[in-house]
Structure 1
């Protein structure tokens, strides 16, 4: 009987592989190879590349985890890391890859893409495509008026205080995450979204907020894809070393999954950190306004916002540091006081608190 049920489930999964539920059962859970299963748009690098200086290696000799002292490389390997970089004053002090990965290996960003989406929103405001974070989202998605979104501003979406009714559970094949991650009709799903409480009351981390921002950005750009905008405004000006891609919900005229799924390399992710380390300035050119960077990375407890999150960036301590973060333990950590950038990419989160590890490394350097 059990064997029969197993065969039935597998058969249904295969038959339903074109829909979100089927794809959920086939792929089961977000994985480091997911950039291969989704359609995407290519983001091309420019003709010239910025490269960090190859500095003299400086790494911790060991690290203590659960009262066990481990050699640093072995610790990273044991925690399912695939890449780890420590950069200070534009010098690479440590760069190590694991599990057949190297500097040219593509790794999905997962939710680090939320921070990149925020940067693009900031640039769109600088350029006048979006007027203000205080605009109601219904200025760009009027279909949401019927669902009471007139009071929801772009700031609410950026701060995760919108009051959105969204199930962030990653193990539910019928939930909102499955719809957004595996689904193929995001533009149709967004206008169906509802609110469960008034905006501005409390923080709740929900990927739906960022995908709504993605549709706002797409409509504000009026014909330019989000990937093309990223290529023009960040990928080429920052001198990325490799092409990247952004996964979309479907092949023909799909929308970028802005809450996740920017696929790139460790060194290029580090350049996102360098841009914000330098307050939006890249070698003399202001890419995104200093005001946007400062607002995105400062502690603010007003209007339901939490001290540890602002404008799609995490704030792990009171020391002015901040980071982008993805579900499998993907991190771009920036500590301005030390002029420090750390990138950790992983196959899995591992059995550790990366917030503690990264902030401790920040203090140590």
Structure 2
């Protein structure tokens, strides 16, 4: 009888293998190697590569975690870390890879991509492709007017205060996350989203907000993909060392999963942090306006906003530090006052909150 049930389950999985439910059961949970299972848009680097200076290695012998002193490198390894970089004053002063990973290995960003799409929105505003964060969503996606989105602004999406009706649960094969992550009709799913409360009244972290931002950007760009825009505005100007990719919902005419799924290497992720560390300026060239960087990383509690989140960036304290953050423990941590960047990539979070641990590590530098 058990064999019969297993056979039925296997048959159902393969019957649904081309849809979101099938993908959900075949691949089960998100993995840092998911760039291998989805179609993508290539993001090429340029001829000129920026390298951090190789500095004298510095690391703490121990750090305090959960009121206990633990050996630093053993802690990194035990907590499922695959890459850990520390850059101070433009010098790479600590670099380690674990779990058979190395500097050339690709890691999926997951929600760190939210911070990247925020940068691209800022650049599009600088260039006049998008007028303002105060514009209603329906200026770019009129199909959402029927669902009340004429009251939702781009700023509401950036702040996660849109009032969106979206299930962020990661273990429901029929929920929004499965549709957005594993589905092949992302534009349709996006324009079918609805609201559950008045915009600008409450913060709720929902990936659907960022995917709407992605659709807005795609329409503002008109004849250019989001990946190509990223390539032109960030990947080449920042001197990325490697090509990257952005996973899409389908191979032909696919849209980037802008709430996640930018696939790159640790050192190139660090350059995203360096751009914001230097207030949007890259070696004398203003890539994104200083005002946008300031708005993206300040503490704001107005109109339903919360202290720890601003324009798709996380703010772990009120010391001016900020971070891009992904679900399996992917982080770009920046502390401008210390001129410090930390990149932590992992197979998962381990048994700690890196949101809290990274500022503690930062104090050691």
**Structure 2 partner of 1:316:** 316
Deviations 1:27-46 (A, max 9, x none): 00100110000000110000
Cross-structure match for 2:257: 257
1:72 Cα deviation from its structure 2 partner? 1.3
Q: Secondary structure at the match of 2:146?
A: helix
For structure 1, the 5+ residue unaligned runs are none
Equivalent position SS for 1:199: coil
SS in 2 for 1:95: strand
2:16 is the counterpart of 1:16: yes
Match status 1:285 vs 2:285: yes
Secondary structure in structure 1 of the residue aligned to 2:358: helix
Pairing of 1:64-83 with structure 2 (within 5 A): 64-66=64-66, 68-83=68-83
Distance 1:148 1:254 in 2: 26
User: Is residue 114–residue 210 contact of structure 2 (8 Å, CA) maintained in 1?
Assistant: yes
Post-superposition offset of 1:55? 0.4
1:67 offset after TM fit, Å? 5.2
- Normalization by structure 1: what TM-score? 0.99
Measured against aligned partners, the alpha-carbon deviations of 1:154-191 in whole angstroms (never above 9, x if no partner) come to 00000000000000000000000000000001111111
Task: Give the corresponding residue for 1:87.
Answer: 87
Give, in angstroms, the shift of residue 15 of structure 1.
1.8
TM-score computed with the length of structure 2 as normaliser: 0.99
Counterpart of 1:98? Answer: 98
Q: Which moved more, 1:305-314 or 1:353-362?
A: 353-362
Determine helix, strand or coil for the equivalent of 1:263: strand
In the TM superposition, what whole-angstrom CA distance separates every residue of 1:239-262 from its partner, at most 9, and x where no partner exists? 000000000000011000000000
Work out the CA distance in 2 between the residues paired with 1:67 and 1:121. Answer: 40
Q: How does 1:155-304 map to 2 (within 5 A)?
A: 155-304=155-304
Mapped partners of 2:172, 2:7: distance in 1: 21
Aligned residues: 365
In the alignment, the residues of structure 1 paired with residue 209 and residue 66 of structure 2 have an alpha-carbon distance, to the nearest angstrom, of: 36
Deviation, 1:362, is: 1.8
Q: Give SS of 1:86's match.
A: strand
Paired with 2:159 and 2:194, the residues of 1 have a C-alpha distance of: 18
Indicate yes or no: 2:14 matched with 1:42.
no
For residues 10 and 176 of structure 2, the distance between their equivalents in structure 1, rounded to whole angstroms, comes to: 23
* Residue aligning to 1:354: 354
1:2-31 CA-partner distances (Å, limit 9, x unpaired): 443233222211221110001000000100
Partner of 1:5: 5
State how far apart, in whole Å, the 2-side matches of 1:320 and 1:10 are.
Answer: 51
Distance, in Å, in 2 between the alignment partners of 1:136 and 1:10 is: 46
Q: 2: distance between equivalents of 1:6 and 1:175?
A: 24
Deviations 1:314-356 (A, max 9, x none): 0000100000000000000000010000000001110011122
Distance 1:168 1:78 in 2: 28
Q: Is the 8 A contact 2:65 2:357 kept in 1?
A: no
How far apart are the structure 2 equivalents of 1:143 and 1:15? 33
Structure 2: unaligned runs, 5 residues or longer: none
Distance (whole Å) between structure 2 residues aligned to residue 67 and residue 296 of structure 1: 32
Match of 2:151 in 1: 151
Quote how far apart the aligned CAs of 1:66 are. 4.3
Question: CA separation in 2, counterparts of 1:7 and 1:59?
Answer: 53
Cα RMSD of the aligned pairs, angstroms, is: 0.9
Give 3-state SS (helix, strand or coil) of 2:303's partner: helix
Once the 2 structures are TM-superposed, how far is the Cα of residue 70 of structure 1 from its aligned partner?
3.0
Moved more, 83-92 or 2-11: 2-11
Q: State the distance in 2 between where 1:141 and 1:67 align.
A: 49
Where 1:239 maps in the other structure, the secondary structure is coil
Cα offset, 1:311, TM superposition: 0.3
TM-aligned CA deviation for residue 68 of structure 1? 4.9
